[in-house]
Structure 1
Amino acid sequence: MFECMRERGISEWLVRKVEEIYARTRNKVKVGEKEGEWFETTKGVRQGCPLSPLLFTIYVADVDEMLKKAQAGGVVVGREKVWSLAFADDMVIVAKSEREMKEMMRNLEKYVRKKKLEVNVEKTKMMVFSKRKRKNEESEWKWEESKIERVSEFKYLGYTFNERATVRAQVREVVRKANKVVGCVWGIGERMWGGEFGRRMMMFESMVESVLMYGAEIWGWKEREEVERVQEKYLRWVLGVDRETPGYIVREECKRSKLRVKAGKRAAKFEDRMGGREECRILTECYREKKKNADEKEREKYCRRNGYASEEVERMRAEGRWMCAELSERDRDTDKQERRERIREARYNREYERCVTEDVPVYLGRESTKERKMMARFRCGNEERENKYWMEEEERMCRMCREERETIEHMWRGCGEMREREEKERGEILNEDGMDERGMEEEGKDREGEGWGIKENVG
């Protein structure tokens, strides 16, 4: 290792200092509160030492030179040829054909023996990229005498690749992880802040969105329904409304744009930053190749949705103008218009259009969680059977008089059981301030003694 450092041009003074550090390496194992005896190690780099990844990188820095010199394998990306990808002790080798890959593996076996390294065959996987379905007959892949498993998906630096070279595997993975985080975040929020709306949304942005947006620079041009469902599910929990409540209503109530806005902004910002990055040749070539494949259609749709042709965006970037902020702002406005249009044309909760405000409704800032959920359920249409258009006609009738469909209009004007209610209460419920909790409690008790039945839809 120290000779490799000298060959790489590292100063003799620094090499000697590292030699002094490794002159004696003592370790002991700790399990819980118990500690084992001290013992010395003479092989490998120190576990957990911040210097270790750098030393290993220096030690295997010539692997790409070896592969290049052998002139076997590798893939051409634009005007560059790539043989391997390496980060610390994770390495990927690439080739265009089975024959070239097997030759690369033989060369790598010789290199590993020469360097006195060991390969963990159990963690070593083989994946073949192909647009066609996998054939039943498969070639056998081996490292020395051990068989290497062929997989359909492969994760590298947190990004999941699949055999078809699409983004589906990565999107599915971030959604899976985000749903797990949502469960943890919900529990933490309940214990620390109860139902405080502002803090709940802050936790979503800092802990859930950060997981969902991983790799959005690659897949962010297109709206992903599975990603949007994570946010809409979380908003339903926060508001305390039924899971049948449409996503466009809960997003309007909380004044949240679709996550496609942030994902698109990250993809556009990545393109902005790629301008003039000729010093990073491989990244630049990958970026150019990516623009030639099917992703270009998604990019074109994104630009047109926000009022630009992709050629116009390229021209503005060439003039030194960063476009991510402008495209994102337009996308946010487009999303708002689409949301309001769906509210106007919806069969569900036709009254909600008059509930719409420009800012977050005032009632969401109230301290009482129960009171907020009551108001949210009325405003979002959960307490009117008329809104459940998928139910049978009889099931949508008023639960009190059974004479007409159950709507707010009927409850305050037509229902004989509720005519004593004052007309103004209807406006109070639909108003962003909401009616007081006592009035809502009484209203709930009147309806067949059902109360409110507020659901914590966390399942």
Structure 2
Amino acid sequence: TICGVKHCPISPMIFSLFMNDLPDVLSGGVHVGNTKIKVFMYADDIAVMAGSPASLQLMINELADYFETWNLNLSLEKSKVVVFGKRAGGLARNEKWHYRGNSLDVANEYKYLGVTLTPRLEMGKHFREKVTQAKHGLNMVWGPLIKKRNIPLEAKHKVFGATTRAVVGYAAQVWGHASYEQVEVLNRYYLKKLFAVPNNTPNYILYGESGVEPLEFYYRKLQLDYLTKILKYPAKRYPKIIAEEVITRRSAWVQDYNELARRCGDNEEICQGGSATEWVQAMKQVLQRSTVMWRENLEREVRESAHHQLYAELNRDPEEGRAYLKMQDLAKIRPTFRARAEMIQVNYKWWKEGLSNICSMCNRQEEETVYHFMADCPVLNEFRANYLKKVTLTRAELVKILDGKTEEVSCDDLVRYIRTATKYRKFLVEEFNYDP
């Protein structure tokens, strides 16, 4: 063609073939085991690597000669140098680089293939950008789908995985070995918004009642599956070479997995012995055990909670106490979730100091806990008798209702009581300007 191949589907392939001999003309690089890696090339993105300032400048000069030979232009605005390492402070005197007499900027961060890299390989900036994008995507589908009443929670969780978890988890094959609070905050943001619970809802209730796990388990599995895949690559492929070297040296991200294994009670033989493939398979088993251990710790937190003792008494089996989550009506799921989690709007706020916890409605001078609101506040006796079939409830009776184990009180009855009692409480507080 005399017109070129711009915007043509085969243009990336043709460009790759055109640039295929570039590594042959570069003399620098970094050693990974017995392999010298000089350059990463993806379409028109080129990243050259060197172990010293002088070596990098030599490679830049060789790159300039190559571009001149083949009539290629380098975008200086997009070309940056990043010095990776653990040193503190500024650059050394000899850490300056030029391309045909033009100074190259030394950047504190650079986005390469969608990942923001920093000299210390910190992921904070990358996660901030991805979490912002993920929240935007979540909000885009919130009204049309997530907020819809008659769509199963399972379907909503799948949409979250496709629109949000996938966005924030970009390149998790590289960083998925660790837990990052910035990422987990997004998961909890989704759950709190979905179930309409306050921001201060404890994590052990949020995860325990929803049945959703922290994202770290998903991303670790994603990374281990990726490692399994690349370890089957041909011996000359860079991903395989790098992964095998890191695992053999037990360095970098391997240390995080080994520490996870130790926390799960595994011995040093699992952490240190075996081939790269055997180590990955061992870590997959460790991941399964760590998930079980996380659930056990979650249950322990529930049992030892000083502020949610009612929740500790509830049945949390997904087929029994939490079976209401299978309903398709979000308008019924939300109030039930809040009642079981003891997160209904009442005066008892253990996380705030200096506030009165006394009931806003009755004159018994009792703390207005969720139990008081649901079971024995005399002002709500009429609603309780109508919907919960008793004027007052014992603790055991309330637990039975919240677990859905009574034939007399349905989930609809429970929801109607919560809605009616909450509305009446709001009316009394606003009408009489109550100040406990």
Q: After TM superposition, is the score higher than 0.5?
A: yes
Counterpart selection for 1:409 from 338, 347, 371: 371
Counterpart selection for 2:423 from 431, 445, 450: 445
Report the Cα offset of residue 274 of structure 1: 4.8
**Which piece of structure 1 moves more, 122-131 or 212-221?**
212-221
Distance 2:362 2:197 in 1: 25
User: Match for residue 15 of structure 1?
Assistant: none
CA separation of 1:46/1:277 partners in 2, compared to 1, >3 Å: closer, same or farther?
Answer: closer
SS in 2 for 1:401: coil
Output the aligned Cα RMSD: 3.1
**Which piece of structure 1 moves more, 229-238 or 218-227?**
218-227
SS in 2 for 1:339: helix
Structure 1 runs not aligned, ≥5 long: 1-21, 26-44, 452-459
Counterpart selection for 1:354 from 313, 320, 332: 313
Task: Give the TM-score normalised by structure 1.
Answer: 0.79
User: Match for residue 76 of structure 2?
Assistant: 121
Cα contact 2:173–2:226 (8 A) shared by 1: yes
User: Match for residue 356 of structure 2?
Assistant: 395
User: Match for residue 334 of structure 1?
Assistant: 293
Deviations 1:211-248 (A, max 9, x none): 23333333222222221111111011111111111222
Deviations 1:316-371 (A, max 9, x none): 87669944653333232122112111111223322112234221623333344333
SS in 2 for 1:92: strand
Report the Cα offset of residue 66 of structure 1: 0.8
User: Match for residue 19 of structure 1?
Assistant: none
User: Match for residue 382 of structure 1?
Assistant: 343
Report the Cα offset of residue 407 of structure 1: 1.9
Distance 1:412 1:100 in 2: 73
Deviations 1:92-124 (A, max 9, x none): 111122222112111111110110111111111
Distance 1:276 1:372 in 2: 46
SS in 2 for 1:342: helix
Distance 2:280 2:343 in 1: 47
SS in 1 for 2:201: coil
Cα contact 2:195–2:337 (8 A) shared by 1: yes
Q: Which amino acid aligns with 1:343?
A: V
User: Match for residue 343 of structure 1?
Assistant: 302
Deviations 1:416-435 (A, max 9, x none): 42455424573465225745
What is the number of equivalent residue pairs in this alignment? 407
Deviations 1:35-59 (A, max 9, x none): xxxxxxxxxx422211111111111
Q: Are residues 1:50 and 2:9 paired? A: yes
Q: Percent identity?
A: 24
Q: Which amino acid aligns with 2:42?
A: F
CA separation of 1:308/1:172 partners in 2, compared to 1, >3 Å: closer, same or farther?
Answer: farther
Distance 2:104 2:280 in 1: 49
Deviations 1:145-173 (A, max 9, x none): 44432211222222332101344454444
Report the Cα offset of residue 190 of structure 1: 4.8
CA separation of 1:304/1:227 partners in 2, compared to 1, >3 Å: closer, same or farther?
Answer: same
Q: Which amino acid aligns with 1:124?
A: S
Q: Which amino acid aligns with 1:165?
A: L
**Which piece of structure 1 moves more, 147-156 or 377-386?**
377-386
Task: Give the TM-score normalised by structure 2.
Answer: 0.82
User: Match for residue 426 of structure 1?
Assistant: 398
Structure 2 runs not aligned, ≥5 long: 385-389, 405-409, 430-436
User: Match for residue 61 of structure 1?
Assistant: 20
CA separation of 1:351/1:435 partners in 2, compared to 1, >3 Å: closer, same or farther?
Answer: farther
